[in-house]
Amino acid sequence: MRIVALAGGIGGARFLRGLKEIVSPADEITVIGNTGDDIHLFGLKVCPDLDTVMYTLGGGIHEEQGWGRADETWSIKNEMKAYGVGPEWFGLGDRDFATHIVRTQMLGAGYPLSAVTEALCDRWQPGVRLLPMSDDRVETHVRITDEQGPRVVHFQEYWVRLHAAVAAEAIVPVGADTAKPAPGVLEALAAADVILFPPSNPVVSIGTVLAVPGIREAVRAASAPVVGLSPIIGGAPVRGMADKVLAAVGVEATADAVALHYGARAAEGLIDGWLVDTADAGSVAAVEAAGISCRAVPLLMTDTGATAAMAREALTLAESVRR
């Protein structure tokens, strides 16, 4: 079975770890990772979502934090601070720095991001084929109004520095309109037996992947069933501030509103099936009324066992909606 998943960082990576538990060795998982979160810091190219997937599946992740390396040290950060060189708000540990140095060096030598990602994964052996959504630079920017007036900030500044405390007025994936899907992305979607949308952020993770011209169309045209899992439980994101970016695109932070935002494939949308948490069982009818098969199952990724059960439910739902 060929499974293709679109993914952001923590929510995507944790789900994929559960998925890996239940597939057979002959199955193939291709991950199309969001690169709209990418940022250049200290002259280095940092790809937070690709790295979170790579470290999580490769056994190098800081478990409690959900991002960055386990057993991290912070000498470089402290040295930069001593020089008065920022930004201080973005956490890059020493071990993590090595990844960004290798990546930047390879990009400088002319390798595309997809080839660089493959090289980094040679070390981490994540057990999936990890593809960036595009080799072209795409950077998500957020329009806000704060004490400095109306302005546009990089997504990381909005998320990490400002903790999404001010309203997001618009989310702009800069460069997406002219970006091309990375090699293998469209082919993987066309050849997929199942396409999954993990409980990643619908706007700045999955939404950004879908903003690369050709990807949305390839999902819509795929012969595989498309099934998503809600990142929203009981009217709030399980973790993070997804409600803030959903508001920016006029979508309520509820499990059913997110499903309708993706839309039914039968009605110009993207998904055939949708899983909500048991706490949202009351929203199943609304999702089904929109032409999307929906089940309420436990969706908290408390451990790998619980996450594996979610992945199994997603594959079961995919089978039931296969055309």
Contact yes or no for 173/211 (Cβ under 8 A): yes
Phi-psi region of 110 (alpha: psi -120 to 50; beta: other; left: phi over 0): left
User: Peptide bond before 48: cis, by omega within 30 degrees of 0?
Assistant: no
152, interface contact from Ca ion, ligand GDP, none, CB < 5-8 Å by kind? none
300, interface contact from ligand GDP, Ca ion, none, CB < 5-8 Å by kind? ligand GDP
Please report whether residue 140 would count as binding ligand GDP according to CB under 6 A: no
Question: Considering beta carbons, is residue 56 or 114 the nearer one to ligand GDP?
Answer: 56
The stretch near ligand GDP (CB under 6 A) out of 85-93, 122-130, 142-150, 230-238 is: 230-238
The pair phi, psi for residue 86, each rounded to 5°, is -105, -170
Question: Considering beta carbons, is residue 37 or 139 the nearer one to Ca ion?
Answer: 37
Please report whether residue 240 would count as binding ligand GDP according to CB under 6 A: yes
135, interface contact from Ca ion, ligand GDP, none, CB < 5-8 Å by kind? none
Residues at the site binding Ca ion, with contacts judged by CB under 5 A:
8-9, 37, 49
Q: Which of 181, 231, 269, 273 binds ligand GDP (CB under 6 A)?
A: 231
Please report whether residue 237 would count as binding ligand GDP according to CB under 6 A: yes
Phi-psi region of 196 (alpha: psi -120 to 50; beta: other; left: phi over 0): beta
Site for ligand GDP in 29-58 (CB under 6 A): 49, 52
Question: Considering beta carbons, is residue 150 or 305 the nearer one to ligand GDP?
Answer: 305
The stretch near ligand GDP (CB under 6 A) out of 80-88, 136-144, 175-183, 226-234 is: 226-234
Question: Considering beta carbons, is residue 9 or 60 the nearer one to Ca ion?
Answer: 9
Contact yes or no for 63/70 (Cβ under 8 A): yes
Please report whether residue 11 would count as binding ligand GDP according to CB under 6 A: yes
Site string for ligand GDP, 84-103 (x = CB under 6 A): --------------------
7: Cβ–Cβ under 8 A, 6 or more apart, which residues?
A: 13, 15, 16, 31, 32, 33, 34, 49, 53, 198, 200, 205, 206, 209
Residue 129, helix vs strand vs coil? strand
Ordered DSSP codes for 60-96: -B-TTTSSSBTT---HHHHHHHHTT-S--SS---HHH
C-alpha 277/C-alpha 281 separation (Å) is 7
Question: Considering beta carbons, is residue 208 or 293 the nearer one to ligand GDP?
Answer: 208
Output DSSP code: residue 166. Answer: S
Ordered DSSP codes for 195-232: EEE-S--TTTTHHHHHTSTTHHHHHHH-SS-EEEE-SE
Please report whether residue 10 would count as binding ligand GDP according to CB under 6 A: yes
Please report whether residue 242 would count as binding ligand GDP according to CB under 6 A: yes
Chain residues in the site for ligand GDP (CB under 6 A): 7-12, 49, 52, 199-201, 205, 229-231, 233, 237-240, 242, 299-301
